[in-house]
Amino acid sequence: MKFFLDTANVKEIERINRLGLVDGITTNPSIIAKEGRGFKEVIQEICGMVKGPVSAEVVGLSVGEMLEEAHAIAEWADNVVIKLPMTENGLEACNRLSQEGIKTNVTLVFSAAQGLMAAKAGAAYISPFVGRLDDIGADGLQLVRDLKTILINYSYKTEIITASVRTLSHLAEAALAGADIATIPGSALPSMWKHPLTDIGIEKFLKDWESVPKL
Ligand code: E4P
């Protein structure tokens, strides 16, 4: 399973990259806004830090605006991926860009039908938002399972990015469902590699080690 970081914070990326856990990055306008830096500057810096795909989202809502932004962003780096909203215009832009060989990530996917349409329109990635679905009482992970089945049924090459990941169980269940990728907030991932029993175990080993003769 590939891990993407859902962040534009270079310190978070550096820390987790050192562990070999970063296969790519996803951003969105809210994530970019948090950094207080220019969009192009931060995306280019991140593209130089990771080998894998870095998603940068358009903000225009018309097809023309999306394509204009996408063409400009696509020039910023070889590993940049254009993130498009799951709308009628987003699907048209996705279709046009995929025909030009520009990779897209269709975001804000909340139903299996939306994901299927994005795959059919040529999306390289689709991003179902599991946390936001759970927030409204729906089952976000069931959407990931359904999308996996659909993509296998029709042999689509589109990869599933499990997005809006909030918990350890989102990550584990997404892996069990066969999601290609999970994108995890850079601030949340460190808590996911920790377990209280690991810490207690280390403490006990070190305590017991004190009684071993040091010869
Ligand atoms: C995915 O690409 C999105 O940036 C992200 O996962 C949104 O997550 P949130 O619901 O925690 O904002």
Pairing of strands 125-128, 24-26: unpaired
Q: Is 127 near ligand 1, meaning CB less than 6 Å away?
A: yes
The residue whose C-alpha atom lies closest to atom 10 belonging to ligand 1 is 164
pLDDT of residue 215: 82
State if residue 4 touches ligand 1 by the CB under 6 angstroms criterion: no
Whether 34 is catalytic: no
Question: Which CATH architecture describes the domain 2-209?
Answer: Alpha-Beta Barrel (3.20)
Q: What is the pLDDT of residue 151?
A: 98
Strand stretches in 155-194, DSSP E: 159-162, 181-185
Q: b/e string for 150-179 if b means 16 or more Cβ within 10 A?
A: bbeeeebebbbbbbbbbeeebbebbeebeb
Residues 6+ apart with CB under 8 A from 66: 58, 60, 84, 89, 90, 93
Contact 18, 196 (CB under 8 A): no
Residue 1 · residue 182 · CB < 8 Å: yes
Per-block average pLDDT, block size 10, for the chain (215 residues)?
98 97 98 98 98 98 98 98 98 98 98 98 98 98 98 98 97 98 96 96 98 92
pTM, entire model: 0.96
Q: Is the CB of 105 under 6 A from ligand 1?
A: no
Pocket test for ligand 1, best of 84, 183, 184, 187 (most atoms within 8 A of CB): 183
Q: What atom in ligand 1 is closest to the CA of residue 107? A: 2
- Domain residue extents for the chain: 2-209
Out of 83, 103, 194, 214, the active site residue is 83
Query: 107 CB under 6 A from ligand 1?
Result: yes
